[in-house]
Chains A and B, each alone.
Chain A
């Protein structure tokens, strides 16, 4: 069974904290993605990566950065969390010949 695993289901952080969201896939996929999911706004792409150490900005990269040091792991970093970053964060992975497989999501609350 293919797996994309996000390290936390729920997180509560304070404004100004540095936040790390971790995602691991076991399918040897080249491509990995980070989205945020908000009611009425759907899934918005934050960053994506097609190879180790390679990254591309998505539609809403401001306030975020990413790291991909190993093929199976893609981390999303909030340098200084703000309340408008309260959201559900979804990680996904895929290869050229497969659909995207999603993690279970991390619900982040910034207080």
Chain B
């Protein structure tokens, strides 16, 4: 079974400091990984996915299959980055073609101190 682990419940950094939100996964197949973000009073939304290899709002994440990690990084934190961040893994379900599960970690609350 797949599993996503985010070891930090809360991460506090000062504005302008680097940020790294950790994510490790357990999955026997080829993983498809995502980072989702939830700002205060807003719905959960995609931040980035590993296959696109793009940078969104200054955040990047690299899939490291050897370490089974997909850590989220940003060189300089901004106050507007304060939010809840979830790492997620998509994997095929056994029920049929086109069926898949989306498994989330427990989330990390990022607090950027002015």
Structural contact, B98 and A43, CB atoms closer than 8 A: no
A77 at the interface (CB under 8 A from B): no
Interface residues on B, range: 20 to 34
Size of A's binding interface in residues, CB under 8 A: 27
For the complex, give the distance between the alpha carbons of A86 and B44 in Å: 20
8 Å CB contacts to A: which residues of B72-114? Answer: 86, 88, 93, 95-96, 98-107
Structural contact, A50 and B9, CB atoms closer than 8 A: no
For the complex, give the distance between the alpha carbons of A99 and B49 in Å: 8
B25 at the interface (CB under 8 A from A): no
Q: CB < 8 Å: which of B9, B34, B43 contacts A102?
A: B43
A55's nearest neighbour on chain B, judged by CB, is: B95
Structural contact, A103 and B43, CB atoms closer than 8 A: yes
Known contacts A51-B96, A102-B43; can you find 18 more A-B pairs with CB under 8 A?
A31-B99, A40-B106, A42-B86, A45-B103, A45-B104, A48-B102, A50-B95, A54-B95, A56-B93, A59-B103, A92-B102, A96-B98, A96-B100, A99-B34, A100-B102, A102-B45, A104-B43, A105-B43
* 16 sampled A-B residue pairs with Cβ under 8 A: A30-B98, A31-B99, A35-B104, A42-B105, A42-B106, A43-B44, A44-B104, A48-B93, A50-B95, A54-B96, A54-B99, A56-B93, A99-B46, A100-B88, A100-B102, A102-B44
Instruction: List chain A positions with a Cβ less than 8 A from chain B.
Output: 30-31, 33, 35, 40-45, 48, 50-51, 54, 56, 58-59, 90, 92, 94, 96, 99-100, 102-105
